[in-house]
Amino acid sequence: MTPTYSPAVTEIFQRMNILRERDVVARMQPGAATASVTSPIDGAPLATLTLDSVERYEDVLARSVKAFDAWRRVPAPERGLLVRAIGEEVRKHKADLGRIVSLEVGKSISEGQGEVQETIDIADFALGLSRQLYGLTMPSERRNYRIQEQWHPLGPIGVISAFNFPNAVWAWNAMLAAVCGDSVVWKPSLLAPLTAIATNALAARVAAAAGHPDLFTIVMGPDDVIGERFIADKRLPLISATGSTRMGRRVGEVVGKRLGRSLLELGGNGAVIVDKSADLAVAIPSIVFGAAGTAGQRCTTTRRLIVHEEIVDGVCDRLVRAYKQLRIGNPLIEGNLVGPLINKRAVDGYLHAIGEAKKQGGTVLVGGEVVKPAGVDGGHYVQPCIIRAPASNVLDIAREETFAPILYVFTYKSVEQAIAMNNAVDQGLSSAIFSTDVRQTELFLSGVGSDCGIANVNAGTSGAEIGGAFGGEKDTGGGRESGSDSWKAYMRRQTNCIHYGSTVVLAQGIRFD
């Protein structure tokens, strides 16, 4: 196949003025292997891209190592100015980048734009952070000694991103890594490479104009050629990987074997608890967005609903009415709230999970079918589905993360029981409780409450803001990205002991005369 971009993609790249950028051109050069990119909206071809050979991979890594050596010498506030410039460049092209996200992932126009806004926001956050990479000073037990901690750049950072957030997840890592003094090598999902090509081209152009070429680079290829080499590469001291738990286990195994660091953002199985005191005017729309947004293809998607037994029937009735109002169709058309699943494999997983739920005694309340929206030829569209668990409250399929819009409904009697149900899965990313009882909400947030990395009160499981650290526990991997002190993952800590006296004193009272 001849490498090429479709007319629609070419037009967008022309508006962004990136058709001559290095990575954009490289994907159109003849090569031994290519990959086809099609839109989940209608199956239309978007591109045929040249994948990297081992030789090209080695060239990219060598350039990234060289870029790091120069970049780490730049003062952190100056690094922040470059990141600010990247944020401004992304802001100028927000509409086009968001459209690429929608084209190749199937997000609604609003969600595609929102993802790009996350990149703009994290660039702003990182700019401020560039003057706040604080260390500590500590008192010494020895006279005329003092102790301090400082943080240094870590090295070239490897970033593996998943298809569902092809822009923002890179930015969470890359913008922080850049102000910390690191270069970044990005390995995007082959299900969403065009967003990565465009985003990286913008960032690389800004960096090169500032005298720092190859600060942001990109590699693409199948796991057996590029993926395994990438995670085993000792030149990458940190691999930040977002994707399935299965993938994360492999990354953790290989990186751990070489004593590198891994930052893992893996699967989720978000639960929402709805107490009988809950304000349903707040709870219902939050649950619907959390469960059906991005067609259920978020790691923070609401997949389990745990409702007090006294109100469960009314809650289900309201949810069913809301689901029947969801407009499914081409996400490029304003007003369509639910777009397609990413591919046929995702549709098969959706149908399999619904079939298993029925076998296990679950009852489908709404949805559960493959659909063909009017005006769309091709694509992978399904109805967001609500399944009520049997009276036994046991539904084993709900323990698995199906990357599709399926919401399982359970009941509870006490908040302690509900919290135990929230925690009774292998994943531990996002959770929420809707209640106006402060005792219940505080218990949910306490050390014996939700075991997830994210625990919200009267707010849904999706829609994390960049200011807080994002990540989860257990099979979610334990990593933290974005806000708070997540920057520490991209730096190495150094403890310094400074002696300013004339007599040597040993710690712990040791004498060595």
Q: Catalytic amino acids?
A: 265, 299
Paired strand residues for 4: 48
Compute the 3-state secondary structure of the chain and give helix, strand, coil in percent, each to the nearest 5: 40, 20, 40
SS (H, E, C) 480-492: CEECCCHHHHHEE
Say how many C-beta atoms besides its own lie within 10 A of residue 500's C-beta: 7
Kind plus residue range of the DSSP H or E element containing 164: none
Kind plus residue range of the DSSP H or E element containing 157: strand 157-160
Tokens standing for 167? 């822009």
- List Cβ neighbours of 119 (8 Å cut-off, separation of 6 or more): 87, 90, 167, 168, 170, 171, 175, 199
Q: Are strands 469-470 and 481-482 parallel, antiparallel or unpaired?
A: antiparallel
Report the alpha-carbon distance of residue 34 to residue 221 in Å, rounded: 9
Return the SS3 of 502.
Answer: coil
Separation of CA 513 from chain center: 57
Tokens standing for 6? 């479709």
Nearest Cα to Cα of residue 65 among 184, 151, 159, 179: 184
Compute the chain's Rg from CA coordinates: 24
Return the SS3 of 67.
Answer: helix
Q: Are 450 and 416 in contact (CB under 8 A)?
A: no
Kindly report the backbone phi and psi dihedral angles of residue 427, in degrees, each rounded to the nearest multiple of 5, phi listed first: -85, 160
Residue appearing with tokens 């590198």: 260
Q: Are 398 and 303 in contact (CB under 8 A)?
A: yes
Paired strand residues for 145: 499
Q: Are 259 and 292 in contact (CB under 8 A)?
A: no
Say how many C-beta atoms besides its own lie within 10 A of residue 29's C-beta: 9
Report the alpha-carbon distance of residue 195 to residue 46 in Å, rounded: 12
Residue appearing with tokens 């990593």: 479
SS (H, E, C) 300-350: CCEEEEEEECCCHHHHHHHHHHHHHCCCECCCCCCCCCECCCCCHHHHHHH
Report the alpha-carbon distance of residue 107 to residue 115 in Å, rounded: 10
